[in-house]
Amino acid sequence: MSRTVKRGYDIRGIALFLAGLSFVACASANKAALKPPSAGSAKPLAVEDFGKAIDLHRDLYDKNPGNAKALAGYVSAIGEVKKAGDRARIKGNYAAAEAVYRTLLDRWDGFSVFSWKIGFRRADLEADLKDCRLGSYERSFRQELLSGHHVGALAVYQDAAREYPGDMSVKTMYAKGVGEIRAVGAKALAARDFAPAGKIIGLLLHNLDSFGGLWAPAEREATERKDLTEALRACSFGLANSGLAELRKGNLDKAIALWADLLAFDPENSEIKVALEAAKAELNPVQSAGPVSAVKDGGGGSGKSGQNGLRPGYY
């Protein structure tokens, strides 16, 4: 073999050897590029730093868009995050589940192009998020109702109606809640416990416009208004006469307390306002002189019975 031919073989051999080294180097570089982020994403998932876990895999995928391993890792991480949200929702941990679903929704554009691989759609996430929100509202309503905070209980579903206007599931939930509050007031009225009954009924009457359209037919709202007005009148009448009975016994402090309870839910009741001021003046004549004599002499009114059965010269 000639020296020239041998030299040609040597050059080709060297070239092939260098190409092999280059291929190995590139493969090692790609492997190095994939390994650290993939391994690093396990820790954020373990400590439930789901946003960081997804972001690490997205960065890896963006740098290696054609790499099947990078895509598989990205899809797997998204799936694990979704499963964590579902587990929290099933357990009733709505706040944690809501945070997970919002994390996925916030990053949806980053993986929407292969959503068919992850097994759920954006609409599924939005529905899961809504379930969490309604679950939280239901729980808050229940807590407020059991604590006797009827104003807060009603406000919970008012917030839900504002967040999901026109939603039938929210309307159903709201109507059911109003019915439960109404039942508490009716029970108190039946037991002649007029003060709490009046507060509850007055609350519903005052907020009727916010839930009056929940029922069908529309005439139901007019009927509900009439029923609540009559029930409130019964509470006012009961407390007014109870206060009068205590007054006749000489229990001014009890009469004052009863009439103060009445004005808490019927603040525009002018007769009770006069009666209350008169009783306070009788109890503390030094602090307020004058109103008692005016009421005793009939100077505070027409002398006709009012809706509460009181006359200006009632004692």
Tokens coding 18? 């260098």
Q: Which has more confidence, 235 or 36?
A: 235
Looking at every residue in the chain, the average pLDDT score rounds to 80
pLDDT score recorded for residue 44: 65
Mean pLDDT of 15-28: 42
Q: How far is CA 7 from the centre of its chain?
A: 83
Phi and psi dihedrals of 128, rounded to 5?
Answer: -65, -40
Q: Write the pLDDT tens digit of every residue in 43-63.
A: 666 556 899 999 999 999 999
Tell me how far apart the alpha carbons of residues 92 and 136 are, in angstroms, rounded to a whole number.
9
Asked if the model's pLDDT at residue 196 lies above 80, the reply is yes
pLDDT recorded at residue 143: 97
| Rounded to 5°, angle at Cα 128 from 146 and 156 | 30
Helix (H) or strand (E) holding 48: none
- pLDDT of 160: 96
Task: Dump pLDDT digits (tens) for 96-132.
Answer: 999 999 999 999 999 998 888 999 999 999 999 999 9
pLDDT for position 177: 95
**pLDDT more than 90, % of the chain:** 61
Instruction: Please report the pLDDT score of residue 42 as a whole number.
Output: 60
Look up tokens 């026109």; give the residue: 166
Q: Which amino acid is at 247?
A: L
pLDDT bin (cut points 50, 70, 90) of residue 30 is very low
Radius of gyration of the chain (CA): 37
Q: What are phi and psi of 272, to 5 degrees?
A: -70, -35
* Other Cβ atoms within 10 Å of 212 Cβ, number: 15
Model confidence at 18: pLDDT above 70: no
Average pLDDT over residues 152-162: 96
Domains of the chain by residue range: 30-129
